[in-house]
Chains A and B, each alone.
Chain A
């Protein structure tokens, strides 16, 4: 395809799109009265609803069905795919890794973001200091993975060969042997998790910093009158006041972590015992063409996300009701 072909494709899209918009506004703008009112409402909502049905609702339902079928979607196998996920040794490792990701990442990312937000709050360098932690959020998971792969880079320990990765150079400076970090099972999972923490801490910091600034100043002042400051102010005043925001951040990061695929794929391709459910979904679906297993893993992701979201929404309701 030449660039011209691509631009033509873009122009066709714009034309199709303008036509849709035109029809909606034309239909919505016709006539008056109750009937016309309803027609207008449907016209406004219809394009989005149609797209959601074709592009999300129907495919999701089909995936649910496919998860009960075999690799080629030919025969019914019941819950076999799900049973395999929870019994096959290599898939059990995938589950173990996913649990590790979901437990470690939200806690450490939120803790780092929170501590940092408190430390730089109302200091002279606040906005600059925040920007430093914030920036990784603009970087793609692929870019972030390459950045960290470089940090973990390993060169065999021979004469005239210098380390080019920062971690191994530190080991050498401290008098240790360099280590091929990415191969050290199961610790290599933590090296991948570091990348996600590095990205998500900025998100945690932003939301929590906004929550800290929203604490009524008379509360903080009253604590000050009672001689509460520093660490005690943090434990007794700051943390309880921003608890709803902390819950939102932890759950949001958990959801993002469950679906993390890019980091694992770019850093290790899921090798060396580092695969997670989202990566395994891709491998089974598109590399091994096992439609049944791929669908079952996708459904598993869905089933894991639902309780977290429900909890999140409930907490937000509570916070809003207050």
Chain B
């Protein structure tokens, strides 16, 4: 595209282009075909979830014999599937819901506290090897957690922690630390140095600077990481399977639902309800805190 022929193109309607530019660009992009493409993508992305969601409310007979789209011709709704999967049988899902909550809360809280402390140490104090250690932690982000699982399991078995919540708490917390320290360190470096200096002049020590200046200013960054980590832990299968998969005492929802998909793969009425029991909590958290999640996503898309 040369300068000359673009000028030829543009000269006749340069005034209209200048005044209505955003409108024309938008009109061309959202022409009929563009809208159609957008709608097709949106439908493709929504229909699979909708189909299973609808099926979770259809009676067993209907789910087994007919497709969910026949619902609109013969509507029938029941909550039996949820009642059965949550409270029925020898291993009701409700117990796993409790396990998921018990696993997730500390697995989010522990890395946040440890990472906030460490981030402050790396950002606003001086000690030997500080920068080397920080780079090392940054580099640890690329280590896939698979690399640590086998020896970590040995350690847990050796120390008698196996089949307790401690295994999952410690594993999730450790794996989250590199990214958390990196993100929170970046956020802390953005705090103006004058603010910290002024507090020092007033006689504040590190503890007071940490608690009264840093923590309040870091709330958005901490929230962003918390949403991120919450979704990660709640939805995790691998760590839970390795450390807590052996017993219904500590196994979370994902482990049980994946197990159902294997052993009762034909019972779609139960599978559908079970899947949505596991989906509903992260979905609510996600919708409620989307703003923070997007922040975390934009800041942390390098996680290894």
Contact = CB atoms under 8 A, between A and B. Distances in A.
A and B found bound together: yes
Interface of A: 1, 3, 6-7, 9-10, 13-14, 17, 21, 24-25, 28-29, 32, 37-45, 47-49, 51-52, 54-60, 62-64, 66, 112, 115-116, 118-123, 129, 132-143, 145-151, 153, 162-166, 169, 198, 201, 203, 206-207, 210, 220-221, 224-230, 233, 236, 248-249, 252, 255, 258-259, 261-262, 265-266, 269, 278, 281-282, 285-286, 291, 294-295, 297-299, 301-302, 305-306, 309, 312-313, 316
Contacts of B149: 59, 285, 298
A66 B151 contact: yes
Contacts of A229: 24-25, 28-29
Given A60-B143, A140-B278, A49 B148 contact: no
Contact of A301 (B109, B118, B130, B147): B147
B10 A225 contact: yes
A41 B45 contact: no
A25 B271 contact: no
Given A162-B66, A306-B142, A60 B147 contact: yes
A143 B297 contact: no
A206 B41 contact: no
Contacts of B66: 162, 164
A49 B235 contact: no
B82 interface: no
Nearest to B53: A147
B67 A140 contact: no
Interface in B261-283: 261-262, 265, 268, 271-272, 275-276, 278-279, 282-283
A281 B146 contact: yes
A13 B117 contact: no
Given A13-B110, A48-B115, 19 more contacts: A9-B102, A21-B117, A29-B207, A39-B127, A40-B205, A48-B137, A54-B174, A55-B152, A56-B140, A135-B49, A138-B282, A142-B261, A143-B279, A146-B52, A147-B49, A224-B18, A230-B28, A259-B146, A262-B238
28 contacts: A10-B105, A37-B127, A40-B121, A45-B121, A48-B137, A48-B181, A51-B114, A52-B178, A55-B174, A56-B143, A59-B149, A59-B155, A60-B148, A122-B26, A137-B231, A138-B286, A140-B236, A142-B275, A146-B52, A151-B51, A164-B268, A198-B48, A207-B301, A227-B6, A229-B25, A255-B304, A266-B258, A302-B142
Contacts of B229: none
B121 A42 contact: yes
B118 A278 contact: no
B38 A37 contact: no
Interface centre among B106, B109, B133, B205 (most CB of A within 10 A): B205
A261 B240 CA distance: 13
Contacts of A285: 149-150
B6 to A, nearest CB: 4
Given A48-B117, A248-B301, A118 B144 contact: no
A162 B147 contact: no
Contacts of A112: 41
A298 B261 CA distance: 26
Chain A interface SS verdict (over half)? helix
A170 B108 CA distance: 44
Contact of A129 (B42, B67, B237): B42
Contacts of B64: 164
A59 B151 contact: yes
A126 B171 CA distance: 39
A306 B141 CA distance: 10
B242 A286 contact: yes
Interface in B35-52: 35, 37-38, 41-42, 45-49, 51-52
Contacts of B236: 140
Interface in B118-167: 118, 120-122, 125-128, 130, 133, 137, 140-152, 155, 164-166
A123 B22 CA distance: 11
B216 to A, nearest CB: 17
A146 B34 contact: no
Given A220-B25, A266-B261, A286-B242, A44 B45 contact: no
